[in-house]
């Protein structure tokens, strides 16, 4: 292996060598020592590191991956310095040669060390040299600034945040979680709190004993097989191979290091418990974890009563189950006792011994368990708010780590299996005692003693796993039955305890939230989301945003916040229609649309020519029916037999009664095209992406232009004919004196006032096509004149490339014209002229001539044949050019309307008769 002059390399990398050593003199001295060692050894760097390790100890210690001695550390530093230098391309070639050589002569003793070295060079660890996070500052506003200047400052800040991350900005706008300006929660107490949560002395929690579960050995045998490129391709866009980590049952130390960030769970979070820790691990580590999770999932058998982090709709299942239990007790007059238990910091405090015991109980391959033990034994993290902090958790699974969810589920699964017995609530011949969604546990019993017994057993089991019930967030519901009088009563006098701590007892009028849906002791509550929507819109309207940004936030963030609650709860058709009315009023206000703008334009999809704003009245019943219909196939065992299945069918029938259509896009498309203003948009769905500018966060359109273009698109401009709708006595004729009604077609296509703007609109399309042709290597001639016996022919463009000649002519037609017929007529106008064909062939010397039309109507809608010829067949335009040309036409159309209003020219003197 050859090396460049180390001194020259240090000089070229002086700025980056600070991360490796304290001074350049140390680096030079280190490199000189390494050169001497290499010259004496006459071997490669990786072979030297391997021989040094094996010479000291024939069997490599388990922690050799990154526990290097002085020589190994110097080698790593030199490799990193060399890789960052100008000769990095040569180094990568050498590494590939070393790896190929090793593949020919494998050696298991040095395989893991070699792999770690290559990871260290190709993917340098930057966690130790990461920038210190900037502290949140609360800039003081100068009181002497004018309000206009303050508004400009706020606008500039909002634009910067929106373009950086629109989703994060919109979330902070609608659901702010900013910290109090006068307090900083990230103090020493905060750090101590989370270190205590994630710490567990080795002797503080014994290893729980779980009963074994049968498992398919054919699936389990695949757990520790080498990772294939297909598996990596499904989890990550880049392919590779990783037989080393699974065969050695170890991963590099750097893959076990994480960085923990704390996300506030509510606004003005102050207490440490108000934050959620998310562990950020290196990308290769997350990829490796995801592959392991995909392998482990089919090899374990989780009880159907655990519905968190599974592929089926667990939220709908648990909300339906709780609603059914509470309503069934009233309808059948049965004693029912329910406890909802919340676990305190469950993911961050579950013991590792409980995780390994659950894996053993599931008969998971012991090599897989050893690999996980190695990962957790070397696991470490640093808290982001504290620079230089390092901590090694002794309990908990990392939130944000792909493997954590299934590991936690396996622990709770042992609790669920423990409760398969006679104690519980009898429903249609079967006994149900527990249901779980991740760390949220529901207990059911038919007596108070039974519920207390289940609570005690749950608490004892959780303690063996270092999990504890949060009594402040847990509660019980007691429903007593009077069979004689056919009445039920919510009992608020019977207490239940967890370690002598009383659980909250709900009264008949109390409500609670479970999985984001509101319940009471009577069952699922009917939701009224109008105040919530109004609150969101109030924050939404006050933000300094462009109109297109408001529409983007409304469609992608604001309205989706209500979907979960509306779909899973019971909402009447009238409430959904009211939500639509509020939403449409907001859209009309943001885009300055008149009140008679068709509602279907707001709700139709962007591809069909609308704005794509969702309609609650049409979509929510469809989604609710779909989710309820899916419960029958996924609910466990005989849960849906008898009255449960009947209750589910009643819910489905109720939704069917208010459902309008099975295809919202088709429904609004037909309504839009059947309106007077939307009939011209009928060709929108025939051309893909031509309306993309409506929903894209584009910068080439100002807010004013965006609003004007939408008004032009839906024909909401105040022409005399439109303003006279419903007013028979109002004059409808052209204000320029033309003997025609003042319609869009007349103003934009025929009125003398706008003739100059019509030409400019046409030239804008032609010039765009000309630049596109030139960018693709065509030799372009603009507006050549050819004299023929049937008249002069003057196409807009003639483009030539490789003996291929394209004759292109553009046109913008009225909104009532059939686009395909107009395009074919334009092509025939030139193609059917034999003399023209002969003259073009004689001038350009090629018989390969094609005639194309670029046809749009004044609303910016393309002819499908034009797009196919220009984009697919002859590659004159790209798909991204199609919506841009549409905006050029709409801008030209609106400019014509502006000129029409400003001009005082008249076509005829006197008044029309």
Rounded CA separation 496/504 (Å): 8
3-class secondary structure, 709: helix
Strand partners, 434: 443
User: Sign of the CA dihedral 168, 173, 175, 178?
Assistant: positive
> pLDDT, tens digit, for every residue of 449-469?
999 999 999 999 999 999 999
Mean pLDDT of 475-489: 91
Higher-confidence residue of 479 and 5: namely 479
Rounded CA separation 510/438 (Å): 25
Residues 384 and 492 grouped into a single domain: yes
659: pLDDT strictly greater than 90: yes
According to DSSP, the β-strands at 475-482 and 504-505 are parallel
Higher-confidence residue of 548 and 427: namely 548
- Give how far the C-alpha of residue 560 lies from the chain's centroid of Cα atoms, to the nearest Å: 12
Domain that holds residue 115: 94-121
51: pLDDT strictly greater than 80: no
First to last CA, the chain: 97
Average per-residue pLDDT for the chain = 81
Q: Closest Cα to residue 470, out of 423, 444, 503?
A: 503
Tokens for 179? 């910290």
Rounded CA separation 398/372 (Å): 13
Residues 624 and 484 grouped into a single domain: no
Higher-confidence residue of 435 and 223: namely 435
In which region does residue 400 sit, left (phi positive, over 0), alpha (psi from -120 to 50) or beta (all else)? left
Query: By the 8 A CB rule, do 842 and 865 touch?
Result: no
Q: What is the pLDDT of residue 6?
A: 38
Residues 643 and 699 grouped into a single domain: no
156: pLDDT strictly greater than 80: yes
Q: Closest Cα to residue 441, out of 418, 465, 423, 458?
A: 458
Rounded CA separation 182/184 (Å): 7
Least confident residue range of 164-173, 667-676, 892-901? 164-173
Residues 475 and 619 grouped into a single domain: no
**Is 748 among the domain residues?**
yes
**Is 89 among the domain residues?**
no
Q: What is the pLDDT of residue 382?
A: 87
Q: Which of 486, 506, 524 is the last residue of a domain?
A: 524
Q: Which of 524, 553, 578 is the last residue of a domain?
A: 524
> pLDDT, tens digit, for every residue of 363-404?
888 888 888 888 888 888 888 888 778 888 889 898 888 889
pTM of the complete model: 0.79
Q: What is the pLDDT of residue 389?
A: 81
Higher-confidence residue of 896 and 122: namely 896
Rounded CA separation 619/688 (Å): 24
**Is 651 among the domain residues?**
yes
| Predicted confidence band of residue 200 (pLDDT cuts 50, 70, 90) | confident
Rounded CA separation 713/604 (Å): 13
179: pLDDT strictly greater than 60: no
Q: What is the pLDDT of residue 297?
A: 85
Residues 656 and 724 grouped into a single domain: no
**Is 862 among the domain residues?**
yes
3-class secondary structure, 878: coil
Q: What are the CA-CA distances from residue 266 to residues 137, 190, 277 (Å)?
A: 19, 17, 14
Residues 493 and 538 grouped into a single domain: no
Least confident residue range of 30-39, 683-692, 789-798? 30-39
Q: What is the pLDDT of residue 126?
A: 56
CATH code of the domain in which 752 resides: 3.40.91
Q: Closest Cα to residue 479, out of 507, 455, 450, 519?
A: 507
| Percent of the chain predicted with pLDDT > 70 | 76
Residues 656 and 717 grouped into a single domain: no
Dihedral angle computed from the Cα positions of residues 37, 39, 40 and 44, in that order, rounded to the nearest 10 degrees: 80
Residues 492 and 540 grouped into a single domain: no
Rounded CA separation 559/626 (Å): 19
> pLDDT, tens digit, for every residue of 806-865?
999 999 999 989 999 999 999 999 999 999 999 999 999 889 999 999 999 999 999 999
Mean pLDDT highest for which of 78-82, 314-318, 870-874?
A: 870-874
Tokens for 704? 């004013």
Q: Which of 500, 524, 548 is the last residue of a domain?
A: 524
| Percent of the chain predicted with pLDDT > 90 | 48
Least confident residue range of 49-58, 99-108, 261-270? 49-58
Higher-confidence residue of 95 and 318: namely 318
362: pLDDT strictly greater than 70: yes
Residues 378 and 405 grouped into a single domain: yes
Residues 864 and 748 grouped into a single domain: yes
**Is 585 among the domain residues?**
yes
Dihedral angle computed from the Cα positions of residues 273, 275, 281 and 286, in that order, rounded to the nearest 10 degrees: 100
> pLDDT, tens digit, for every residue of 85-114?
444 444 445 454 544 554 454 444 455 555
Q: Quote the number of domains for the chain.
A: 4
Rounded CA separation 885/865 (Å): 15
Q: What is the pLDDT of residue 177?
A: 67
Q: What is the pLDDT of residue 280?
A: 86
505: pLDDT strictly greater than 70: yes
Largest Cα separation within the chain, whole Å, is 110
- Give how far the C-alpha of residue 709 lies from the chain's centroid of Cα atoms, to the nearest Å: 29
Q: Closest Cα to residue 640, out of 320, 301, 225, 236?
A: 320
**Is 116 among the domain residues?**
yes
Rounded CA separation 352/362 (Å): 16
Mean pLDDT of 776-786: 93
Residues 668 and 720 grouped into a single domain: no
Query: By the 8 A CB rule, do 876 and 773 touch?
Result: yes
| Predicted confidence band of residue 28 (pLDDT cuts 50, 70, 90) | very low
> pLDDT, tens digit, for every residue of 730-762?
889 999 989 899 999 999 999 999 999 999 999
Mean pLDDT of 28-32: 46
Q: What are the CA-CA distances from residue 840 to residues 654, 731, 771, 801, 876 (Å)?
A: 69, 51, 21, 14, 20
Residues 485 and 575 grouped into a single domain: no
> pLDDT, tens digit, for every residue of 544-574?
999 999 999 999 999 999 999 999 998 899 9
178: pLDDT strictly greater than 60: no
Query: By the 8 A CB rule, do 105 and 47 touch?
Result: no
690: pLDDT strictly greater than 60: yes
**Is 755 among the domain residues?**
yes
Task: For the chain, count helices (H), then strands (E).
Answer: 36, 22
**Is 198 among the domain residues?**
no
- Give how far the C-alpha of residue 289 lies from the chain's centroid of Cα atoms, to the nearest Å: 21
Dihedral angle computed from the Cα positions of residues 441, 444, 445 and 451, in that order, rounded to the nearest 10 degrees: 20
Q: What is the pLDDT of residue 270?
A: 81
Listed in sequence order, the residues at least 6 apart from 627 whose beta carbon sits closer than 8 Å to its beta carbon are 313, 316, 567, 568
Q: What is the pLDDT of residue 218?
A: 53
């Amino acid at each position: 292996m050859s090396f460049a002059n180390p001194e020259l390399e240090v000089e070229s990398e002086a700025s980056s060598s600070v991360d490796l050593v304290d001074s350049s003199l140390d680096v030079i001295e280190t490199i000189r020592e390494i050169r001497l060692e290499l010259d004496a050894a006459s071997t490669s760097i990786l072979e030297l590191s391997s021989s040094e390790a094996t010479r000291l100890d024939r069997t490599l210690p388990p922690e050799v991956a990154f526990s290097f001695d002085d020589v190994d550390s110097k080698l790593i530093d030199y490799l990193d310095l060399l890789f960052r230098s100008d000769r990095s391309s040569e180094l990568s070639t050498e590494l590939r040669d070393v790896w190929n050589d090793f593949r020919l002569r494998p050696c298991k003793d040095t395989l893991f060390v070699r792999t770690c070295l290559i990871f260290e060079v190709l993917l340098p660890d930057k966690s130790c040299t990461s920038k210190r996070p900037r502290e949140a500052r609360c800039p003081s506003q100068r009181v002497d600034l004018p309000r206009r200047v303050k508004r400009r400052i706020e606008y500039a800040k909002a634009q910067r945040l929106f373009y950086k991350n629109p989703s994060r900005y919109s979330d902070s706008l609608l659901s702010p979680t900013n910290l109090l300006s006068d307090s900083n929660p990230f103090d020493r107490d905060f750090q101590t709190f989370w270190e205590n949560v994630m710490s567990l002395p080795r002797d503080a929690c014994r290893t729980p004993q779980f009963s074994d579960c049968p498992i398919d050995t054919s699936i389990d045998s695949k757990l520790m097989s080498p990772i294939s490129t297909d598996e990596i391709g499904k989890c990550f866009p880049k392919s590779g191979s990783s037989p080393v980590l699974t065969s050695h049952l170890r991963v590099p130390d750097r893959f076990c290091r994480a960085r923990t960030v704390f996300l506030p769970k509510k606004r003005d979070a102050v207490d440490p418990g108000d934050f959620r820790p998310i562990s950020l691990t290196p990308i290769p580590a997350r990829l490796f974890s995801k592959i392991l999770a995909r392998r482990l999932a089919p090899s374990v058998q989780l009880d159907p009563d655990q519905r968190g982090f599974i592929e089926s709709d667990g939220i709908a299942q648990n909300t339906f189950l709780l609603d059914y239990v509470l309503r069934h007790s009233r309808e059948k007059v049965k004693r029912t006792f329910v406890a909802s238990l919340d676990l305190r910091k469950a993911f961050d405090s579950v013991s590792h011994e409980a995780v390994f015991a659950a894996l053993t109980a599931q008969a998971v391959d012991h090599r897989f368990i050893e690999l996980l033990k190695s990962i957790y034994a070397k696991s470490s993290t640093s808290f982001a708010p504290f620079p230089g902090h390092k901590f090694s958790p002794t309990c908990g699974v990392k939130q944000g780590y792909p493997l954590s969810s299934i590991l936690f589920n396996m622990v709770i699964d042992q609790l669920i299996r423990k409760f398969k017995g006679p104690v519980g609530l009898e429903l249609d011949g079967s006994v149900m005692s527990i249901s779980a969604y991740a760390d949220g546990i529901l207990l059911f019993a038919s007596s108070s003693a039974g519920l207390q017994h289940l609570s005690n057993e749950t608490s004892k089991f959780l303690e063996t796993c270092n999990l504890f019930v949060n009594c402040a967030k847990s509660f019980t519901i007691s429903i007593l039955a009077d069979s004689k009088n056919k009445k039920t009563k919510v009992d608020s006098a019977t207490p239940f305890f967890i370690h002598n701590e009383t659980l909250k007892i709900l009264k008949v009028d109390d409500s609670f939230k479970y999985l984001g849906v509101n319940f009471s002791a009577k069952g699922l509550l009917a939701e009224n989301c109008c105040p919530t929507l109004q609150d969101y819109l109030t924050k939404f309207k006050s933000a300094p945003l462009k109109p297109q940004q408001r529409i983007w936030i409304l469609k992608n963030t604001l309205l989706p916040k209500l979907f979960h609650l509306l779909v899973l709860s019971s909402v009447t058709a009238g409430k959904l229609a009211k939500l639509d009315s509020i939403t449409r009023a907001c859209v009309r206000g943001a885009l300055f649309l008149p009140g008679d703008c068709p509602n279907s334009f707001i709700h139709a999809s962007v591809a069909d020519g609308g704005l794509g704003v969702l309609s609650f009245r049409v979509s929510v019943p469809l989604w609710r029916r779909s989710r309820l219909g899916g419960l029958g196939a996924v609910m466990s065992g005989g849960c849906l037999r008898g009255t449960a299945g009947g209750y589910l069918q009643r819910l489905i029938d109720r939704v069917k009664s208010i459902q309008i259509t099975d295809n919202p896009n088709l429904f609004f498309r037909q309504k839009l095209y059947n309106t007077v203003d939307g009939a011209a948009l009928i060709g929108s769905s025939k051309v893909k992406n031509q309306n993309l500018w409506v929903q894209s966060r584009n910068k080439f359109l100002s807010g004013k232009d965006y609003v004007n273009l939408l008004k032009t698109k839906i024909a909401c401009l105040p022409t005399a004919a439109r303003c006279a709708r419903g007013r028979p006595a109002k004059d409808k004729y052209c204000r320029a004196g033309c003997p025609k009604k003042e319609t869009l077609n007349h103003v934009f296509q025929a009125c003398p006032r706008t003739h100059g703007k019509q030409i400019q609109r046409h030239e804008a399309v032609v010039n765009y096509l000309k630049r596109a042709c030139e960018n693709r290597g065509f030799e372009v001639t603009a507006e050549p004149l050819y004299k023929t016996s049937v008249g002069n022919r003057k196409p807009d463009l003639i483009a030539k490339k490789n003996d291929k000649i394209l004759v292109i002519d553009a046109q913008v037609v009225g909104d009532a014209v059939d686009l395909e017929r107009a395009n074919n007529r334009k092509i025939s106008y030139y193609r059917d002229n034999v003399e023209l064909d002969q003259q073009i062939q004689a001038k350009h010397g090629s018989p390969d001539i094609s005639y194309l039309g670029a046809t749009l109507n004044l609303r910016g809608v393309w002819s499908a044949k034009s797009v196919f010829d220009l984009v697919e067949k002859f590659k004159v335009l790209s798909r991204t050019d199609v919506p841009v040309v549409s905006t050029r036409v709409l801008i030209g159309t609106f400019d014509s309307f502006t000129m029409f209003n400003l001009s005082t020219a008249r076509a005829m003197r006197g008044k029309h008769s």
